Amino acid sequence: MATATATATATATTKAILPLHHRPTAATKNGLSISIRAYQDDFKLESQQNQKPSNKAIKLAESLSNMLYLHIERNLYHHTSNVPRIEDKHNTPTMSPKEDISKKWQEIHGSNDWNNLLDPLHPWLRREVVKYGEFAQATYDAFDFDSFSEYCGSCRYNRQKLFEKLGLTKSGYKVTKYVYAMSQIDLPQWLERSRFVDTWSKDSNWMGFVAVSDDEETCRIGRRDIVVAWRGTVAPSEWYDNMQRKLEPIGQGEAKVEHGFLSIYSSKSESTRYNKSSASEQVMREVKKLVNYYKGRGEEVSLTITGHSLGGALAILNAYEAAKNFPGLPVSVISFAAPRVGNIAFRDELYQMGVKTLRVTIKQDVVPRMPGIVFNESLQKFDDFTGSLEWIYTHVGVELKLDIRSSPYLKKGLNLVGIHMLETYLHLVDGFLDSKTTFRSDAKRDVVLVNKECDMLVDELKIPQNWYQMENKGLERNSHGRWVKPTRDPEDIPSPIVESYNNVLEMEDSCGLESLFSI
């Protein structure tokens, strides 16, 4: 009787405290069978002594019901909700396997405008898009945003350490050049300067890097790949309010591009330390050096340019210039959340020069609709009435459109900043199968990365928002126990002289002096 009474008490208590969708399953009961038998032994002992249920028995029954509730709460909750358990992925790789794409690289690079590769998304293309997206993300992760830092606006690490510090050593690429852009000519307020008067540079910001594939990666992807990664903005409002929104001629024809983007790309001043040459000139000089060197060795070479947001706009300008300077060089752009850059004539010139552009967008992101929300390429069908439309903005290339509603991990509210974040884009690319299928169950990329600098993950995952930052926000305790802002290692302090000297040494080692001076 005692056993029956105690068991009945536990069952009644459990039913009272458990919601219907948390009722114990057979598997759960089996998992608790050892604990239940231990309690029943105590109940049987009291029963044999003809005792009524004691306070001890009642407390044991209550403990059993509480224990059962906690077990179900921890182990069944995620299975009864729509959110997959990210704990199940903790012991799995964070990236898809690298396949040998050497025989298909031209198609992956856009030779056929990615026909039959986007919907459904070919797994080889998905892996490559994520790879280039991670290069663009590196320009954010390594950027010194701290306005109290005397190095605000620079990269935290020198280029030899960049990929090591950001966990990209397995990417198969080596950084060869840093790129800087002017920060005081028609630029938006998001390029905030340091609060220090005596700072590393009053005129420039680190805007990205040039990298090249190593021998192993070159063998896998079928050619020597030069990459240019451009940094963008964090929030759309930070630059859109300041964008000039006026078209300016580029080249000799009718092509025009947005004034502010072109200013960032091409501005320079002899009075500066880092921008005596423009971002354009820095990149083109490095690309020319690498193209000449590897083509001189008889290798096949490609140029892939990537960027997010503003970085995507700069990538398009970079591709336009590279195609003009290197006829026959395969040039592709993999952009994320990129705005419109130029007019229809600009787009047509890019097509004629063979530039291939894959634009990754999110349906709910407003930035890819700018500028030209109303007056854009959709008006081209009325050109009989409107004329040549030199004054409107148009997108370039092929679009891979994503939807935040496809992921069970993401909040569905209108979070403009979170939706626009590059990590949100990479999460959705990694989970995309096709336009009619939900998020793929075997997606590899770490879901936690989405919340690095926003609040996009559903609360059930219990991942802190904006969690990515330097430990203790960069402060360290010195030998006296006082918290101070540490000095940078000498090799991580920006120095145009040191960087130029390192470039010369590397070129002497790889090309020889005669080749260097011929560039």
- As annotated, the active-site residues are 309, 365, 420
Per-residue 3-state assignment (H helix, E strand, C coil) for 322-349: HHHHCCCCCEEEEEECCCCCECHHHHHH
Element (H, E) at 229: strand 224-230
From residue 293, how far is each of 265, 332, 519 by CA, in Å?
Answer: 25, 20, 9
Which pair of structure tokens corresponds to residue 485?
């802002």
Exposure on the CB side of residue 442, measured as CA atoms within 13 A = 4
DSSP letters, 174-225, are EEEEEEEEESSSS--TTSPPPS-SS-S-SSEEEEEEEEEE-HHHHHHHTSEE
Distance, in Å, from the CA atom of 341 to the CA atom of 265, rounded to the nearest integer, reads 12
Which pair of structure tokens corresponds to residue 386?
């409107």
Distance, in Å, from the CA atom of 38 to the CA atom of 34, rounded to the nearest integer, reads 6
Cβ-based neighbours of 473, under 8 Å, separated by 6 or more: 146
Distance, in Å, from the CA atom of 486 to the CA atom of 483, rounded to the nearest integer, reads 9
* Residue 434: strand, helix, or coil: coil
| Omega before 120 within 30 of 0, i.e. cis | yes
Element (H, E) at 249: strand 247-249
Distance, in Å, from the CA atom of 450 to the CA atom of 188, rounded to the nearest integer, reads 26
Element (H, E) at 476: strand 476-477
Locus of tokens 């634009």: 359
Residue (of 407, 405, 411, 406) closest to 458 by Cα position: 411
- State whether the Cα torsion 140-123-330-398 is positive or negative: negative
Which pair of structure tokens corresponds to residue 292?
């000449």
Residue (of 323, 313, 303) closest to 263 by Cα position: 313
Distance, in Å, from the CA atom of 240 to the CA atom of 340, rounded to the nearest integer, reads 12
Distance, in Å, from the CA atom of 169 to the CA atom of 435, rounded to the nearest integer, reads 33
